[in-house]
Amino acid sequence: MTRAGASGGPLPRDGAVVIVGAALGGLRAAQALREGGFTGSLIMVGDEVHHPYDRPPLSKQVLAGTWPPERAALVDRQRLGELGIDLRLGQRAGALDAEARRVTLDDGTVLGADGVVVATGARPRRLRGTEALHGVAVVRTLDDCEHLRRRILEAGPGCRVVVVGAGFIGSEVAATCAGLGCDVTVLEALPTPLEPAVGELVGAALGALHARHGVDLRTSASVAAVHERAAPSGAPYEVELADGEVLPADVVVVGIGVVPNTEWLEGSGLDIADGVVCDEALFAADGVVCAGDLCRWTWRHAGDVQSIRIEHWELASQMGTAAARGLLAGRAEAEPFDPVPYFWSEQYGVRIQVLGHPERTDEVVVLDGALDAEDGRFVAVYARDGRLSAALAVSRPRQLMAFRPLLVAGASVAEAMEVLPAKG
């Protein structure tokens, strides 16, 4: 039987769509489907019990206690109701048959659809041997965040926090914990923090924020083991470094990257390789699209072709919208997804923003301020093969956005150097 929407054709507007993953990518897909005139059945399955919420505040305002958890909601209940979604929370999808477009939940429910949106995101990588230790935390979910905040408050003022990993999330957690009056040490295995994301020069400049705020950043520091025992210092944990040093800790937070949630797709017929492999328009198969942290798509931009997976809020949001529009149009007519990636981070009251996709080997040119400036503000651009590849600003939002059209156009570095609008 040939079903409507099969073989790359458009989605029937009164058909059925199943969205797996009830968070940012999934919600944006649901919103775009309705905005695009889809009136059919829309089921959204999520294994968390919470209504869709936002993750960026978890390492910032919610952990700090300046926002109640409810403020992290991605959409209010009334708007959610208006979307007419059959929301299946606390339910896990266990399998997909991509060809038949059939999703099977862990409780045995089988959901048939004309279109499927896969948006199951990613989960934190754990430090081997610490999975069962209650005081070794990660920050991905609201529950993780509330658990960590409770442990810090229970330990009281001067709580000794050891953060493993000085990536963006580890750095944000360190900054927030320092703001809560904790005694924070950050352990980074690389010689320079954030080097894979923003290169060595900028990584060193951003890493210097920790010391300026009284946080002890140790680079080239590897963790050998975490022990749960009553240390002479009274701390419940001891973090043993590869060089033999032992750090007492009330709380250990692990921020060493994420793993895409693709296990449930084994045997689905989709191509899985550090994410779900998708074409230029985010299709993993006819009638099956992906969005968010688990999506590895073919990105064609300014003459380059990359198979790439990026874990940023703005991109997950844009992908949700683009994937739904593609599903509505059908694979044969879907538009390629060609964004200007954007992400931000907030640490110690400083806002770091990045447009484009820097690589560690790109040349870096500082256009305003200085990497070691007292006020910490600067604007830098990244160049690859003579072309602008990214721009990064620390507390200079207006200046950053001026580079957007140049990144869209694949401008040269010389052209980028001419653009430096008024500060701000």
Ligand X SMILES: Cc1cc2nc3c(=O)[nH]c(=O)nc-3n(C[C@H](O)[C@H](O)[C@H](O)COP(=O)(O)OP(=O)(O)OC[C@H]3O[C@@H](n4cnc5c(N)ncnc54)[C@H](O)[C@@H]3O)c2cc1C
Pairing mode, strands 16-20 and 237-241? unpaired
CB of 151 to ligand X, least distance (A): 16
Binding-site member from 9, 15, 121, 369 for ligand X (CB under 6 A): 121
> According to the binding rule CB under 6 A, does residue 382 interact with ligand X?
no
Return the closest-CA partner of residue 72 out of 232, 230, 360, 64.
Answer: 64
> According to the binding rule CB under 6 A, does residue 261 interact with ligand X?
yes
**Tokens linked to 241:** 């470094």
CB of 15 to ligand X, least distance (A): 21
CB of 107 to ligand X, least distance (A): 11
Backbone phi, psi, residue 87, to 5°: -90, 120
Neighbours of 55 (CB within 10 A): 22
Binding-site member from 293, 362, 394, 400 for ligand X (CB under 6 A): 293
Distance CA 247, CA 238 (A): 5
CB-based contact 355:378 (threshold 8 Å): no
Return the closest-CA partner of residue 165 out of 188, 136, 197, 193.
Answer: 188
> According to the binding rule CB under 6 A, does residue 25 interact with ligand X?
yes
The amino acid at 96: L
Binding-site member from 3, 92, 125, 404 for ligand X (CB under 6 A): 92
Nearer to ligand X by Cβ, of 89 and 365: the residue is 89
Per-residue binder mask for ligand X (CB under 6 A), 128-157, x = binder: -----------xx-----------------
CB of 121 to ligand X, least distance (A): 2
Per-residue binder mask for ligand X (CB under 6 A), 189-228, x = binder: ----------------------------------------
Nearer to ligand X by Cβ, of 59 and 192: the residue is 59
Binding-site member from 17, 29, 32, 45 for ligand X (CB under 6 A): 45
User: Could you say which residues in the range 155-184 bind ligand X, by CB under 6 A?
Assistant: 169
CB of 248 to ligand X, least distance (A): 25
CB-based contact 341:356 (threshold 8 Å): yes
Which one of the spans 79-87, 158-166, 195-203, 338-346 is the region binding ligand X (CB under 6 A)?
338-346
Beta carbons within 8 Å of 109's beta carbon, 6+ residues apart: 91
Which one of the spans 30-38, 120-128, 282-290, 416-424 is the region binding ligand X (CB under 6 A)?
120-128
Q: In DSSP terms, which residues pair with 384 in a beta bridge?
A: 387
> According to the binding rule CB under 6 A, does residue 120 interact with ligand X?
yes
Any idea what the Cα angle at residue 412 is, between residues 408 and 413, rounded to 5°? Answer: 115
Neighbours of 135 (CB within 10 A): 20
Provide the edge-to-edge strand list for the sheet that holds 350-356: 342-347, 350-356, 387-394, 378-384, 363-369
Distance CA 79, CA 81 (A): 5
> According to the binding rule CB under 6 A, does residue 296 interact with ligand X?
no
Distance CA 341, CA 370 (A): 24
Q: In DSSP terms, which residues pair with 115 in a beta bridge?
A: 17
> According to the binding rule CB under 6 A, does residue 31 interact with ligand X?
no
> According to the binding rule CB under 6 A, does residue 111 interact with ligand X?
no
Checking phi first, is residue 197 left (phi over 0); if not, alpha (psi -120 to 50) or beta?
alpha
User: Could you say which residues in the range 47-76 bind ligand X, by CB under 6 A?
Assistant: 47-48, 55-56, 58-59
SS3 61: helix
Beta carbons within 8 Å of 157's beta carbon, 6+ residues apart: 181
> According to the binding rule CB under 6 A, does residue 187 interact with ligand X?
no
Binding-site member from 122, 159, 254, 289 for ligand X (CB under 6 A): 122
CB of 194 to ligand X, least distance (A): 13
Number of chain residues interacting with ligand X (CB under 6 A): 36
CB-based contact 199:382 (threshold 8 Å): yes
> According to the binding rule CB under 6 A, does residue 369 interact with ligand X?
no
CB of 231 to ligand X, least distance (A): 28
> According to the binding rule CB under 6 A, does residue 343 interact with ligand X?
yes
Which one of the spans 4-12, 24-32, 128-136, 233-241 is the region binding ligand X (CB under 6 A)?
24-32
Neighbours of 229 (CB within 10 A): 8
Alpha helices (runs of H) in 192-288, residue ranges in sequence order: 195-198, 200-212
> According to the binding rule CB under 6 A, does residue 93 interact with ligand X?
yes
User: Could you say which residues in the range 301-320 bind ligand X, by CB under 6 A?
Assistant: 311-314, 316
Beta carbons within 8 Å of 146's beta carbon, 6+ residues apart: 62, 69
Residues interacting with ligand X, by CB under 6 A? Answer: 20-26, 45-48, 55-56, 58-59, 92-93, 119-122, 139-140, 169, 261, 264, 292-293, 311-314, 316, 343-345
